[in-house]
Each structure stands twice: as structure tokens, then as C-alpha cells.
Structure 1
Amino acid sequence: MKKNIDKKNNGKVSSPDVVNSHTGGSWAYTEKVKSHFFNPQNILLVDPEKETYDAEGIVGSPACGDVMRVWLKIDQAKDKIIDFKWKTFGCASAIAATSILSVMITEKGGMKIDRALKIKPGDIVRRLDGVPDRKIHCSVLSDKALRAALNAWFKKTGQFERVSAEGSKIIDPYVKVTEADIEKAVLGGAFTLKQVQEKTKVGIGYPECIPATEELIRFYCEKHFGK
């Protein structure tokens, strides 16, 4: 069985929380992930009344067991998110990622929408002190749910110029590669960073986008192929 080395704890071996009975592979969750999994913040167990929130975002697939729903209350005059509630059918990482994202948005009395839109999955992962590589796509799911809710708000309030089309987010500004381009590459059989780069050139001249690209590759592989 593979062991997990906790580099932050003087290299001590941490006990795996999950072991694959077929491959023997394992991973350990950080204490922050465990904390937010066992005590999720801002979670709803039942759907709220429509009049109690301003926008809703839904992403994922019930068939895959990874549905994420987000509800926002927004101060329109200040262009600020003042409350963030959520509900999901998902794994420990999905629950923890959305819980910490809700805290990030609301912990200082709310967050300006433009600032919220700048949050990246990597920011969520860092606040959790990391998640297993095979679970990073869960942070992408919570990020997408937030963006879906904000898109709903923009449409509701006539701010159509602020609506971000699905997959239109630019990952590599140098070659104009978008999320949709990454998904298309994965659907075309590119399952590794090298293979995706061969198809799109993403990250070759802008290596800063490679972590986000790798997260998206994992997300789309899981979404479409269960890898």
C-alpha cells in the first residue's frame, strides 16, 4: 500500500483515509478538508424558498452523483455577494471545497462580485491545505456552480455584458485557449497535459496556467470517461 508523506509535518507518514481495494493506491485528506466535511459551513439540507435568495446556480450530473447547487443573496447597490448557501451530492472533497468557498465569499461581510469571479480552483485548494490529485476536479465543480449562479444574476438584472458563456473562460491568454478548448481536446482523446498541449499549445508560452489546465483535464476526464 502506498503511504502519504506529510511534508508540513517533518515528513511524517500520515494514515491514508481512502484505499483503492483494486490498485492499492491511497490518499490522505488534510485536517481542513476533514473539518469542512464533518462540519460544512453554510450548507442547506432542504431547498430554500425562492424569495429568500437572488440567484441560483446548478452544475453537474445526477447520473454521475456530482450535482452542485448554489444560492446567492446579492446587494445590488454594492454589487456584492452577501450570502452563499449550497447543497450537493458529492464526495468529501466536493463538500469541503464548497464549504470553504462559501466561507471565502462571506467571511468579511461579503465579497464584491468582480473579486469573486477572480477566485480560481487553486485558491480553494490552497485554503484547504491541499486535496488529493484525483479530487482536485471537485474544487472546479464548486467554482463552476458559483459562476453559474452569478450568470443567472446577470441575466436576471439585465447585465448581459457580464454573462460568461459556458466554457468561454480563457485559460491561456497568449494562445486564447478556453475551457471549451480543453474539454474538446479531452473528448478527442487527449488525457494528459502533454497530449492536450499537442492539440492546443496551452501553457507552452504561459506556464502559469498549467496547474489550472491540469485541473480541467482531470475534471473533464472524470466527467466524460470516469477516469
Structure 2
Amino acid sequence: MYTEKVMDHFTNPRNVGEIENADGIGQVGNPSCGDIMKITLKVEDNIIKDIKFKTFGCGAAVATSSMVTEMAMGKTIDEALTITNKAVAEALEGLPPAKMHCSNLAADALKVAIEDYLKKQNV
């Protein structure tokens, strides 16, 4: 059902936690399945220097959260904004159709955190 990559990110998630005094915070949820994701990030010179997540949800939700943080780390704000839900699923080598909504949440949480950062910068 799940790819090896999904299982790896679920059993060994990267960047778990929460950044204190984060530059941007994004939280999204899907009431129909109960998944909730929170992403916090630190930005220096327009580059994401640190990013962490906390996720309440299924294995796919944890895996997509972990993957999106890896994809965004070290990228500029503009580059990170181009990360799509489809790209997250592809990076995990696929998700079951019933779990595709989880990848949507991961990319959405990243975008909300970036929008929060930009708002705080008056951009």
C-alpha cells in the first residue's frame, strides 16, 4: 500500500518539532480525516534555514510533512512557494489515492507558514 520512501519518512520522520520564535507559522487541517499539520520556519537572507513540523494524523500525513520540510530546507522563499502537493507525493514515490489529500495538507501548511513570514515582513 505504501512505498518504501513513505514508510521511511513515517518511521524516521525528519525535522520533527517546533521552532521557538519562528519567523513563519502555518497550520492547516482536514476535518474529514482529522489530520492537522503545523509547520514553523526560520528564514535568513530570504532562505529557509530551519523548518520543523508537528503533525497529528495518519502515517501518510507524517510522511508528507517530513518530506515537505526536506524539500523546503535551504530553498529561497520563492523556490519553496513552488513546491506543490503533487511534487510532495512524487518525492515520496507515490501515495495511495485515498491518501493524496495528505500531500495537499503538507504543501498547504508550508505555504501558510511562508505567507505568515511574508506578512510579518510587510511583503
Q: Give the TM-score taking structure 1 as reference length.
A: 0.52
* AA aligned opposite 1:36: H
What are the residue-to-residue correspondences of 1:108-187 with 2, within 5 Å? Answer: 110-159=74-123
What are the residue-to-residue correspondences of 1:27-38 with 2, within 5 Å? Answer: 28-38=1-11
Cα separation, partners in 2 of 1:135 and 1:64, compared to 1, 3 Å: closer
* AA aligned opposite 1:35: D
User: Partner of 1:80 in structure 2?
Assistant: 47
What are the residue-to-residue correspondences of 1:1-227 with 2, within 5 Å? Answer: 28-44=1-17, 47-49=18-20, 51=21, 53-60=22-29, 64-75=33-44, 78-106=45-73, 110-159=74-123
Cα separation, partners in 2 of 1:132 and 1:62, compared to 1, 3 Å: closer
> Gapped runs of 5+ residues in structure 2?
none
Residues 87-129 of structure 1 deviation map (CA, whole Å, 9 limit, x = unaligned): 01011111101101111112xxx00111111111111111111
Cα separation, partners in 2 of 1:88 and 1:154, compared to 1, 3 Å: same
> Gapped runs of 5+ residues in structure 1?
1-27, 160-227
Paired with 1:144 and 1:150, the residues of 2 have a C-alpha distance of 10
**Offset at 1:63?**
8.1
Q: Which has the higher strand share?
A: 2
Kindly indicate whether structure 1 or structure 2 has the higher relative contact order, using CA contacts under 8 Å at least 6 residues apart: 2
Q: Give the TM-score taking structure 2 as reference length.
A: 0.93
* AA aligned opposite 1:96: A
Paired with 1:93 and 1:63, the residues of 2 have a C-alpha distance of 15
Q: Which runs of 4+ in 1 moved over 4 A?
A: 61-64
* AA aligned opposite 2:13: P
**Offset at 1:65?**
2.0
Q: Which has the larger radius of gyration?
A: 1
Give aligned pairs, total. Answer: 123
Paired with 1:89 and 1:146, the residues of 2 have a C-alpha distance of 16
SS at match of 2:66: helix
CA RMSD of aligned residues (A): 1.5
**Offset at 1:62?**
6.7
